[in-house]
């Protein structure tokens, strides 16, 4: 019996679950990060203190975080999604924040001088100019999350990690690869999709300049 | 139109505006000038509330602006900055239409305004309106920067050293354009510069500032005739020296971007450099930066081999001139020698620049233009 006949169905389910985890948590993480990034960029004097503290959280191993969350929330998908979303926040947050801070002051002054309100300046000038950096953050976040989502299997919640864990436990290389290869391909495809997204979001006028 | 009454502004402990009062009539072209740190930019930015003074009152159109909504106020005042500040994420049309869009003009109106304004500065709407700022030259960008300030036909336009970053030729063209636009559109313009020539050419009235105070507010003629103090006299003298052709020196006309190499550089490197820069000759200098001579690509070919240093080739004895030499004498040399350029040397024999036939022609055109005006 071939590998796919035995594991095919389970593999497809695992891919779907994995993708589901990634998409949900990256979406949540992205929205939270974007809002936080914008807020922090309005108060750079405090952000200088807040950002390093947030980056400490980044250094807590995912396995510990998921484990702790599991103790409080139990074996539900929300545990995985919350944990992954928290990790997805940081790359986007950092890139949103620096992207916004890197907008040259002359553009902000010109926007003010043209009678744009602070909100208009943010949405029509600052965010578009920071968009290349934000998209880069989103790409990093997504790629990381694809690999971190493997940890879901650790608390028995499926995804491609299941194959990897069983493979390691039973010393079965085929199973390890069956988990690893699809997640690698997923990371590549998602990253390409984000490039396409970037084409729509990053203003045309910025591409010639870089 | 614009009135300052005892306006004071401090940044920390430094007083930047010390009891400023003046009045600007509608349709006047006012130039604020003075040494750096004199408060001219602060004065300008107080008018559209980018800076808020601590004391005193500013009236625009009879209204005390401290009681106005700053966003609405700025939509009625055009603003041009030195760094141009066109938004790179917007097309030229979107940039020009920025303020009209805020004021809820219709799309077709915005298009018409953009078209008319671009026509006024001889830029084709079809060719440029849908381009992005980075696709335009610096001069074209600042033209658009000026048009953006004019788009919602504000009665007042503020300009903060708008032509400071442009090369002299482009600056001259834009200066002419702004004078023409102002005559036609009858705007009240407040213009900051540190270039007295620019002030004398453009202004109806010049406000000369120093240490946060107004030293003199007068028409250019009056200021030329009766400068209020030595500093103003000094500013005037510097600018009038360069506008009198008989006082010009070689240094005023030379190009300073001539490419020079040390004589120990290898011939190979030098030929590569010439190819990259699309030039056929290089200035050669000693280790202490003093001038040796000129080597052309022909000399290199005659020399035959590409190994060794460029110093091995005997350079041409090109004519030279001192930086302080009268420009006319330098031109005579150039004209009579048959060489393509004169190398201008500093007192210590280091290379200051070169004068080519092109820079000579440019200089003459400038003088002629000045006479015609």
B316-334 pLDDT, tens digit per residue, is 777 788 877 887 788 788 8
Contact A109 B85 (CB under 8 A): yes
Taking residues B49-55, report their average pLDDT: 92
Select from B196, B230, B246 the last residue of a domain.
B246
pLDDT tens digits for range B221-268 = 999 888 888 888 888 877 654 555 666 777 777 777 778 888 888 888
- Which among B238, B285, B236 has a CA at the least distance from the CA of B264? B285
- Which among B351, B225, B336, B223 has a CA at the least distance from the CA of B288? B351
User: In this structure, is residue A209 part of a structural domain?
Assistant: no
Return residues 121-160 of B near A (CB < 8 Å).
Answer: 132-135, 148, 158
User: In this structure, is residue A207 part of a structural domain?
Assistant: no
Distance, CA of B248 to CA of B324 (rounded, Å): 9
Range of the domain at A83: 3-200
pLDDT tens digits for range A87-101 = 999 999 999 999 999
CB-count burial class (<10 Å; 0-12, 13-18, 19+) for B67: exposed
Clarify whether residues B215 and B240 are in a common domain: yes
User: What is the percent of chain B with per-residue pLDDT over 90, rounded to a whole number?
Assistant: 45
Q: Check residue B67 and give its pLDDT.
A: 92
Clarify whether residues B63 and B185 are in a common domain: yes
Pick B50's closest partner by Cβ from A113, A206, A209. A113
Q: Check residue A210 and give its pLDDT.
A: 40
Q: Check residue B77 and give its pLDDT.
A: 94
Range of the domain at B16: 2-246
Q: Check residue B371 and give its pLDDT.
A: 40
- Residues in chain A with pLDDT < 50? 209-210
Distance, CA of A110 to CA of A123 (rounded, Å): 15
Clarify whether residues B231 and B267 are in a common domain: no
Chain B CB contacts of A120 below 8 Å: 102
- Which among B66, B17, B16, B214 has a CA at the least distance from the CA of B7? B17
B336 touches B301 (CB < 8 A): no
- Which among B263, B253, B275 has a CA at the least distance from the CA of B353? B253
Give the chain B residue nearest A117 (alpha carbons): B71
Length of chain A: 210
Contact A113 B90 (CB under 8 A): no
User: In this structure, is residue A82 part of a structural domain?
Assistant: yes
Contact B83 A106 (CB under 8 A): yes
Q: Check residue A179 and give its pLDDT.
A: 87
User: In this structure, is residue A46 part of a structural domain?
Assistant: yes
CATH number of the domain enclosing A114: 1.10.3720.10
How many domains is chain B partitioned into structurally? 2
CA B129 from chain center: how many Å? 25
Pick A107's closest partner by Cβ from B71, B85, B102. B85
Chain A CB contacts of B148 below 8 Å: 114
Distance, CA of B53 to CA of B20 (rounded, Å): 11
Within 10 A of B208 (CB to CB), how many other CB atoms are there? 27
Clarify whether residues B231 and B317 are in a common domain: no
Clarify whether residues B242 and B254 are in a common domain: no
CATH number of the domain enclosing B261: 3.10.580.10
How many domains is chain A partitioned into structurally? 1
From the CA of A75, how many Å to the nearest CA of chain B? Answer: 47
Select from B208, B226, B246 the last residue of a domain.
B246
B207 touches B33 (CB < 8 A): yes
Q: Check residue B245 and give its pLDDT.
A: 60
Any idea what the Cα angle at residue B205 is, between residues B70 and B208, rounded to 5°? 80
Clarify whether residues B265 and B135 are in a common domain: no
CB-count burial class (<10 Å; 0-12, 13-18, 19+) for B271: middle
From the CA of B57, how many Å to the nearest CA of chain A? Answer: 20
A176 touches A164 (CB < 8 A): yes
Return residues 266-305 of B near A (CB < 8 Å).
Answer: none
Question: What is the Rg, in whole angstroms, of the alpha carbon atoms belonging to chain A?
Answer: 20
CATH number of the domain enclosing B198: 3.40.50.300
User: What is the percent of chain B with per-residue pLDDT over 70, rounded to a whole number?
Assistant: 94
- The complex scores an ipTM of 0.81
User: In this structure, is residue A39 part of a structural domain?
Assistant: yes
Clarify whether residues B108 and B130 are in a common domain: yes
pLDDT tens digits for range B334-348 = 877 777 778 888 888
Give the chain A residue nearest B83 (alpha carbons): A106
Contact B132 A205 (CB under 8 A): yes
From the CA of B88, how many Å to the nearest CA of chain A? Answer: 5
Using the CB atoms, write b or e for A179-205: b if 16+ within 10 Å.
bbebbeebbeebeeebeeebeeebbeb
Taking residues B192-221, report their average pLDDT: 92
pLDDT tens digits for range B81-128 = 988 889 999 999 999 999 999 899 999 999 999 999 999 888 999 999
């Amino acid at each position: 019996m071939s590998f796919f006949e035995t594991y095919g169905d389970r593999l497809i389910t695992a891919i779907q679950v994995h993708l589901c985890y990634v998409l949900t948590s990256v979406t949540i993480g992205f929205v939270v990060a974007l809002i936080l990034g914008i807020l922090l960029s309005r108060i750079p004097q405090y952000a200088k203190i807040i950002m390093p503290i947030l980056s400490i959280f980044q250094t807590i191993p995912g396995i510990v975080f998921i484990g702790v969350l599991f103790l409080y929330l139990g074996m539900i998908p929300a545990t995985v999604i919350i944990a992954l979303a928290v990790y997805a926040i940081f790359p986007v947050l950092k890139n949103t924040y620096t992207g916004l801070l890197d907008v040259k002051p002359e553009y902000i002054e010109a926007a003010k001088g043209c009678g744009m309100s602070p909100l208009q300046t943010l949405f029509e000038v600052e965010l578009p100019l920071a968009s290349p950096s934000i998209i880069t953050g989103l790409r990093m976040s997504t790629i990381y999350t694809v690999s971190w989502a493997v940890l879901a299997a650790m608390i028995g919640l499926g995804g491609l990690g299941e194959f990897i864990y069983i493979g390691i436990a039973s010393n079965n290389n085929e199973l390890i690869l069956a988990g690893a290869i699809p997640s690698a391909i997923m990371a590549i495809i998602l990253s390409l999709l984000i490039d396409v997204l970037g084409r729509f979001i990053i203003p045309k006028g910025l591409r010639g300049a870089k | 139109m614009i009135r300052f009454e005892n306006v004071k502004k401090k940044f920390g402990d430094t007083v930047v505006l010390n009891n400023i009062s003046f009045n600007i009539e509608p349709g006047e072209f006012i130039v604020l000038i003075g040494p750096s740190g004199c408060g001219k930019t602060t004065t300008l930015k107080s008018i559209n509330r980018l800076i808020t003074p601590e004391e005193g009152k500013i009236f625009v159109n009879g209204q005390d602006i401290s009681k106005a909504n700053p966003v609405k106020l700025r939509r009625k005042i055009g603003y041009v900055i030195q760094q141009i500040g066109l938004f790179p994420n917007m097309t030229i049309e979107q940039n020009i239409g920025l303020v009209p869009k805020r004021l809820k003009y219709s799309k077709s109106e915005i298009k018409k305004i953009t078209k008319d304004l671009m026509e006024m500065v001889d830029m084709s709407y079809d060719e440029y309106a849908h381009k992005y700022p980075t696709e335009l030259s610096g001069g074209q960008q600042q033209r658009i920067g000026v048009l953006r300030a004019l788009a919602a036909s504000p009665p007042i336009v503020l300009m903060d050293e708008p032509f400071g970053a442009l090369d002299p030729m482009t600056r001259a063209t834009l200066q002419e354009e702004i004078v023409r636009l102002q005559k036609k559109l009858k705007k009240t313009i407040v213009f900051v510069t540190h270039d007295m020539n620019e002030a004398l050419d453009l202004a109806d009235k010049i406000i000369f500032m120093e240490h946060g105070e107004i030293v003199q507010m007068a028409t250019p003629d009056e200021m030329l005739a009766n400068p209020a103090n030595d500093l103003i006299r000094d500013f005037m003298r510097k600018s009038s020296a360069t506008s009198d052709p008989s006082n010009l020196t070689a240094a005023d006309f030379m190009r300073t971007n001539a490419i020079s190499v040390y004589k120990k550089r290898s011939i190979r490197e030098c030929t590569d450099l010439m190819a990259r820069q699309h030039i056929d000759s290089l200035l050669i200098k000693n280790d202490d930066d003093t001038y040796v001579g000129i080597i052309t690509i022909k000399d290199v070919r005659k020399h035959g081999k590409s190994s060794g240093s460029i110093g091995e080739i005997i350079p041409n004895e090109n004519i030279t001139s001192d930086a302080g030499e009268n420009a006319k004498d330098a031109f005579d040399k150039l004209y009579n020698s048959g060489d393509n350029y004169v190398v201008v040397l500093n007192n210590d024999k280091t290379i200051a620049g070169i004068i080519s036939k092109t820079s000579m022609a440019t200089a003459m055109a400038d003088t002629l233009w000045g006479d015609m005006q």
